[in-house]
């Protein structure tokens, strides 16, 4: 828990997960305005109070583990076949993208989005490892399943705000841990 490398991996996982969320949000907005796509339906579990929200958080843990391990196994198989980790990452991205867009009504648009999503997953897995990918999947699953609002007059605002605050807390802890006891700003006074 105090290893700076773990802090670094978790911090990169939070950043990559939030990048996925931004890509999904932009793609859903473009799809809704340009193609008449449906808005993202969020999970009602995050709207029914503290106990249900905590249960939804805990439910995302095994989902993130299974998703991460499935990505890892596919990447290992491609690495064995292609004998190069970056070629395996490209193959992983293209394979997963092809599967996702096979039934798409907008294949060109969806291909761009999926290449970005799976490219980030492949890069994070090859460059940083399982912890980073796990945190990225966990953060993306959490953030994409909760309606975010800053209007606290909505009845669900207090339960929903716990998710971004929790993700922020994870990111702050990871940043602090990644420093490894070093000060963020050095006190260099010439004498």
- Name the pLDDT band for 188 (thresholds 50, 70, 90): low
Burial readout 44-72 (b: 16 or more C-beta within 10 A, e: otherwise):
ebbbeeeeebeebbeebeeebeebbeebe
Is pLDDT larger for residue 132 or for residue 46? Answer: 132
Asked if the model's pLDDT at residue 36 lies above 70, the reply is no
On whether the pTM is more than 0.85, the answer is: no
Q: What is the pLDDT of residues 99-138, one digit of tens each?
A: 988 888 888 888 999 999 999 999 989 999 999 999 999 9
Mean pLDDT of 57-81: 90
Residue 17 confidence (pLDDT): 93
**Nearest CA to 40 among 57, 55, 56, 20?**
20
Is pLDDT larger for residue 27 or for residue 156? Answer: 27
- Name the pLDDT band for 37 (thresholds 50, 70, 90): low
DSSP characters for 2-46?
--HHHHHHHHHHHHHHHHHHHHHHHHHHHIIIII-PPPPPPPGGG
For the chain, give the percent of residues with pLDDT over 70. 89
- Token pair of 181, please? 């006891």
Burial readout 167-185 (b: 16 or more C-beta within 10 A, e: otherwise):
beebbeebeebbeeeeeee
Asked if the model's pLDDT at residue 9 lies above 90, the reply is yes
Query: What span, in angstroms and rounded, lies between the C-alpha atoms of 168 and 139?
Result: 10
């Amino acid at each position: 828990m105090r290893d700076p490398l773990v802090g670094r991996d978790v911090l990169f996982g939070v950043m990559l997960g939030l990048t996925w969320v931004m890509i999904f949000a932009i793609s859903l907005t473009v799809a809704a305005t340009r193609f008449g796509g449906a808005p993202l339906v969020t999970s009602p579990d995050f709207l029914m109070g503290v106990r249900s929200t905590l249960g939804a958080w805990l439910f995302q843990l095994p989902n993130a583990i299974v998703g991460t391990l499935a990505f890892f196994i596919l990447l290992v198989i491609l690495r064995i076949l292609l004998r190069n980790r970056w070629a395996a990452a490209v193959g992983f991205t293209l394979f997963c993208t092809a599967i996702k867009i096979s039934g798409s009504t907008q294949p060109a648009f969806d291909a761009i989005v999926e290449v970005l999503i799976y490219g980030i997953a492949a890069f994070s897995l090859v460059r940083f490892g399982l912890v980073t990918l796990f945190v990225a999947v966990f953060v993306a699953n959490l953030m994409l399943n909760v309606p975010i609002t800053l209007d606290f007059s909505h009845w669900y605002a207090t339960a929903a705000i716990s998710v971004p605050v929790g993700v922020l807390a994870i990111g702050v802890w990871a940043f602090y841990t990644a420093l490894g006891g070093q000060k963020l700003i050095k006190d260099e006074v010439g004498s």
